[in-house]
Structure 1
Amino acid sequence: MLSTMQDVPLTVARILEHGATVHGASTVATWDGERAVRRTFAEVGARAAQLAHALRDELGVTGDQRVATLMWNNTEHQEAYLAIPSMGAVLHTLNLRLPPQQLAFIINHAADHVIIANGSVLPLLAPLLPQLNPTLRHIVVSGPGDRGLLAGFSGSVHEYEELIADRPTSFPFPTDLDERSAAALCYTSGTTGDPKGVLYSHRSVYLHCLQVVSAESFGFTARDLLLPVVPMFHVNAWGIPHAAFMVGSSLLMPDRFLQPKPLAAMITAERPTFSAAVPTIWTGLLDELDSGGEAYDTSSLDTVVIGGSACPPALMKAFQDRYGIEVIHAWGMTETSPLGSVAHPPAGLTPEQEWPYRLTQGRFPATVQARVVGPDGSAMPHDGVAEGEIEVRGPWIARAYFGGAGQQPDAGGDKFSDDGWLRTGDVGTVSADGYLTLTDRAKDVIKSGGEWISSVALENELMAHPDVLEAAVVAVPDEKWGERPLATVVLRPGSDADVRTLREFLAGRVASWQLPERWAVIESVPKTSVGKFDKKVIRASYADGALSVTKLGKE
């Protein structure tokens, strides 16, 4: 027996229509370095319709062609976020921090038809043009930048504002679009090979938005002003741009001003209530706030969500104690759209009782099923003790990778189980009440003498030292134990701490057999294109002898 409910498609077009009308007075503001330039949701919706007309009528986007964006977080990018999927095409966000060869690979693999780019990133795009397939026919440029860099492009170059000017401010967005059709394409960062494409559906985007705005997750309302520091090319800014339009939360876009000083200035001037970014952003911002004295006012900022990698507990406590900002862990990945879990503690606890829950990666919602799989492939109990690889499934979890234009989806390799679950590559435990605690990435666990050492746990303890700005721990070969931890640390400016002091500090916090014998003080921890610690670079530097390593203790 079927239900008697209406079968109305869940599409991005519906989010666009609702936001531009019901929440038309909400705003998208872009920081220009000194102030915020605003447009209302109604204006953004009208300009999104104009962009859709331009893409269809002048640039020939009539089906599910990929329209790529090489842009910072700004209002024009938000317009593209809404227009492209709503018209039935596929939004393809390009990571402007990827190495050039990977960026060219992604553009060709997706067979992008159009690229919309900020003028400031044309120096990144121009050298790629000779490597790109002829499927790329148009480049649309928004904002200041040297258009002369595109002189060798065989297709057409357009000005964003000129392209959309004088076009109708309404568009016949399809109402019968299959909600399972592709809406957006995002590639993984490709740290262990070529990047893999994850093709999100309208249905998955819509359902993901509903979870993002729920109180169980980020709890957005029309009273909020959101500052998404996480880039719009990083898993669609964790779903924030679409979710904000769904419920009318205003947006403050940082554009290219992602350094600690401009972030502190825009928080002071614009008074956002919520922000989200990877831990490295907040480490720099905390230093800026601490050194800025009374120049900054962050009292409006209630909540910061940190994802991408584990947040050091010392950083969470510093924001809470010194600035009254609650830092919330969230976990996810490109393949999970990315929302997997959010670390809100259970009700009825004291602040001290909440801390163990806040230090987890969070609780899974009903829409994300998780299982812990042991080394032998068996399911482990959800008891907070049994440790194994985390596998997940749900309506916004990938079942395969995009195989490329005209190719079948790729569910091969070791990322998907035989029964369709996503193998995350994360190692951890799940408690009986659904809280995920990660101990490491499977590739980063240190296997020493038959025991596992968590690199994340060592990093968190090291970053609790007041003289340590950043710490990254990796496994290196050891003749006796197989692998041992190498600790690399970045000291705060002016610090006179040495590695012996840091080892003594760590000795009081972890088991003696986990203490690293090898230490290196470095200027900065290498980062991936999305701001995570790039541990493969550290391992390669050690193998090549490029690191100045101090050995302490017994081998």
Structure 2
Amino acid sequence: MPDQSTVVNGLMQPRPLTIAHVLERAERLHAHKLVTTADVERLTYAEVADHTRRLATALDHLDVPVGARVGTFASNSRRHLELYLAVPATKRVLHSINIRLSAEHLEYIADHAEDDVVFVDRALLPRIWPSADRLPRVRYWVVLPDGSDEAIPVDPRVLDYDELVSSAPFTGSFEDAFTLADENLASGLCYTSGTTGPPKGVLYSHRSTVLHCLGTLAAGLIGICESDVVMPIVPMFHANAWGLPYGAIMAGASLVLPGASAEPAHLLRLMEAERVTVAGAVPTVWTSLVPELPSYDLSATRFLLGGGSAIAPALSETYRAVIGVPITHSWGMTEISPVGTIGGTRTRHRDATEDERVAVRAAQGQPLPLVNVRVVDVETGRELPRDGRAVGELQVAGPWVAGGYFRVDAAESFTADGWLRTGDLATLDAEGYLRLVDRIKDLIKSGGEWISSVELEAAIVSHPDVVEVAVVARPDPRWVERPVAYVVVRDGSTTTAEDLLRHITPMVAKWWLPDEFVFLDSLPKTGTGKLSKTTLRDSARIA
């Protein structure tokens, strides 16, 4: 053992990593850069910073305690961005609530979080106001103007955001908050989707958020920089919009926030008009844009980020063929702030064949700096070799990875040495490329052998008429489980189950072939836009 008396500490300033610094940097260095909401409003970072400081004062006037949870029930907008900044910069906790939740789940998480104030888009009032009397801890409901004309309840608890902010004085610098804060203070709270039980709260810290923010700036990965125009299509309630708003502000990039509409023409028009360079969305959104993609000039685009569920190689390659930029895979979870890995080719792939490059782009990618990943044997917990073949549970550790859940004992979600158990089955190769095989709960065990729903879905969706597919297990008296494929095809398609069987037969083992193809107009989704396999499994069991 080394002699501990010889250990020498560094002599660097112990200034904490806090979100207040992200705001001050943007205001001082990039005050002229724009924040555009939909196609109706443009403000500079200087104006956003002014509103943010006034909002901070307004929170004080409302007697919102330090450490209190401040809920948001809102779409991607400039006002929501101001809450992203003011709430944590004043040592409160931003709780972004999924606007697609059922009333039951909404009330559960708002009550579990003990939200003190909730800020809500005017257009969304009809969804949340019926729950107001069942959430007695919420003292105020602050309405964010969004151009809608929904009736506003006459109630002393209901306040107007713009009036609240405009009447609050300008409070000057956040410098004291930055220098005096503890970087380990909670900054944000997001709840998981609750697909395997009640939603669980993931409590981010200032330190974890700032480090994740820097991860989004890492060159060769997402690499957000000052010259970018960043458009988070992924909702701001979905794990802080994958960190894209904070990353853009830190870098001094302009931001485009699309508002409440996910209509393809609206999103594509914004991307064209604002010369968006970086955008992020779930696969269902990227799929919805494909029919209209050739009609818009997206030549400014350099990076399209996909996440939430696997990006089919055919979808990514369609974008590469049409606009010259593929959709880049990522992998993460709410518990990982959320980005853990980023896909794409590297310099060593320059001499690879096109088929080899397509295969690399189909992987979930390499870990961001500071993120560690491993795969372990599900039964023994033994770490498996990084050979691209050994399949095990993916586990992850790092400074922006959750070490527990808010007010929930979930020791089973973590290993004895502190790694997060993701519930994903994956391989890692010698270069650290992650390839997801399946969720443990989504594997299909048929006749004692495993079938990967992910690989089977990739084969089916490669058919040119297939828009979306989800494969789930159906109980079977002989084989225990058999695969059933739920499929959405393009409008006007005459594709049949027999056509799909012929298409995939050369691609997968014969015993992997689905027992049935069920054609639907759309697939059920969770509140974050992911496929709801729970719903489909229930349907398959009943059928």
- TM-score scaled to structure 1, two decimals? 0.93
Q: 1:437 aligns with which of 421, 435, 440?
A: 435
Partner of 2:346: 346
1-structure distance, mates of 2:193, 2:526: 8
Q: Is the 8 A contact 2:444 2:472 kept in 1?
A: yes
- The answer to whether residue 25 in structure 2 is matched with residue 27 in structure 1 is no
2-structure distance, mates of 1:303, 1:476: 39
1-structure distance, mates of 2:477, 2:98: 40
Deviation of 1:149 (Å): 5.2
Partner of 1:502: 500
- The answer to whether residue 511 in structure 2 is matched with residue 513 in structure 1 is yes
Q: Is the 8 A contact 2:189 2:201 kept in 1?
A: yes
Q: Is the 8 A contact 2:313 2:358 kept in 1?
A: no
Partner SS for 2:224:
coil
Deviation of 1:514 (Å): 1.0
Q: What do residues 229-284 of structure 1 show as CA deviations (whole Å, max 9, x unaligned)?
A: 00000000000111111110111100012121211221222220110000000000
Partner of 1:160: 161
2-structure distance, mates of 1:260, 1:397: 33
2-structure distance, mates of 1:171, 1:459: 54
Superposition pairs for residues 376-415 of structure 1, below 5 Å?
Answer: 376=379, 377-403=381-407, 410-415=408-413
Q: What do residues 179-199 of structure 1 show as CA deviations (whole Å, max 9, x unaligned)?
A: 001000000011122110000
2-structure distance, mates of 1:371, 1:223: 35
Aligned-partner residue type, residue 386 of structure 2: H
Task: Indicate how the Cα distance of structure 1 residues 309 and 421 shifts in structure 2: closer, same or farther if over 3 A, else same.
Answer: same
Partner of 2:477: 479
2-structure distance, mates of 1:22, 1:265: 29
Deviation of 1:413 (Å): 4.6
Partner SS for 2:116:
strand
Q: Is the 8 A contact 2:278 2:304 kept in 1?
A: yes
Partner of 1:361: 364
Q: What do residues 21-50 of structure 1 show as CA deviations (whole Å, max 9, x unaligned)?
A: 11111111001xxx3411011111111000
Aligned-partner residue type, residue 137 of structure 1: R
- The answer to whether residue 103 in structure 2 is matched with residue 100 in structure 1 is yes
Q: 2:206 aligns with which of 202, 208, 212?
A: 202
Deviation of 1:172 (Å): 5.2
Deviation of 1:544 (Å): 2.3
Q: Is the 8 A contact 2:475 2:541 kept in 1?
A: no
Partner of 1:548: none
- The answer to whether residue 141 in structure 2 is matched with residue 139 in structure 1 is yes
Q: What do residues 460-511 of structure 1 show as CA deviations (whole Å, max 9, x unaligned)?
A: 1111111111111011111222111101111110101100111110102112
- The answer to whether residue 23 in structure 2 is matched with residue 16 in structure 1 is yes
Partner of 2:277: 273
Deviation of 1:305 (Å): 0.4
2-structure distance, mates of 1:463, 1:450: 26
2-structure distance, mates of 1:189, 1:146: 30
1-structure distance, mates of 2:308, 2:208: 20
2-structure distance, mates of 1:471, 1:477: 19
- The answer to whether residue 262 in structure 2 is matched with residue 261 in structure 1 is no
Q: What do residues 535-554 of structure 1 show as CA deviations (whole Å, max 9, x unaligned)?
A: 11111112223xxxxxxxxx
Q: What do residues 363-406 of structure 1 show as CA deviations (whole Å, max 9, x unaligned)?
A: 01341111211122221111111111101111000010000xxx
Deviation of 1:348 (Å): 3.4
Stretches of 4+ moved more than 6 A in 1? none
Partner of 2:4: none
Partner of 1:493: 491
1-structure distance, mates of 2:10, 2:73: 44
- Name stretches of at least 5 consecutive residues in structure 2 with no aligned partner: 1-7
- Name stretches of at least 5 consecutive residues in structure 1 with no aligned partner: 404-409, 546-555
Aligned-partner residue type, residue 378 of structure 2: P
Superposition pairs for residues 303-314 of structure 1, below 5 Å?
Answer: 303-314=303-314
Higher alpha-carbon deviation: 472-481 or 245-254:
472-481
Partner of 2:5: none
Aligned-partner residue type, residue 513 of structure 2: L
1-structure distance, mates of 2:129, 2:249: 33
Q: What do residues 167-217 of structure 1 show as CA deviations (whole Å, max 9, x unaligned)?
A: 333345312110001000000011122110000000000100111111142
Task: Indicate how the Cα distance of structure 1 residues 18 and 340 shifts in structure 2: closer, same or farther if over 3 A, else same.
Answer: same
Partner SS for 1:180:
coil
1-structure distance, mates of 2:378, 2:338: 25
Q: Is the 8 A contact 2:293 2:322 kept in 1?
A: no
Task: Indicate how the Cα distance of structure 1 residues 22 and 172 shifts in structure 2: closer, same or farther if over 3 A, else same.
Answer: closer
Q: What do residues 442-464 of structure 1 show as CA deviations (whole Å, max 9, x unaligned)?
A: 11011112221111111111111
Higher alpha-carbon deviation: 266-275 or 331-340:
266-275
Q: Is the 8 A contact 2:125 2:150 kept in 1?
A: yes
Q: What do residues 403-435 of structure 1 show as CA deviations (whole Å, max 9, x unaligned)?
A: 0xxxxxx34252111221100011011111111
2-structure distance, mates of 1:4, 1:261: 55
Deviation of 1:147 (Å): 6.5
Q: Is the 8 A contact 2:242 2:339 kept in 1?
A: yes
2-structure distance, mates of 1:413, 1:150: 43
- The answer to whether residue 536 in structure 2 is matched with residue 538 in structure 1 is yes
2-structure distance, mates of 1:171, 1:357: 49
Aligned-partner residue type, residue 297 of structure 1: D
Q: 1:67 aligns with which of 65, 70, 77?
A: 70
Calculate the aligned-residue CA RMSD, in Å. Answer: 1.4
Deviation of 1:130 (Å): 2.3
2-structure distance, mates of 1:437, 1:84: 37
2-structure distance, mates of 1:113, 1:373: 42
2-structure distance, mates of 1:162, 1:474: 51
Q: Is the 8 A contact 1:122 1:146 kept in 2?
A: no
Aligned-residue sequence identity (percent) comes to: 44
1-structure distance, mates of 2:153, 2:472: 42
2-structure distance, mates of 1:123, 1:11: 35
- TM-score scaled to structure 2, two decimals? 0.95
Q: 2:197 aligns with which of 190, 193, 196?
A: 193
Deviation of 1:338 (Å): 0.5
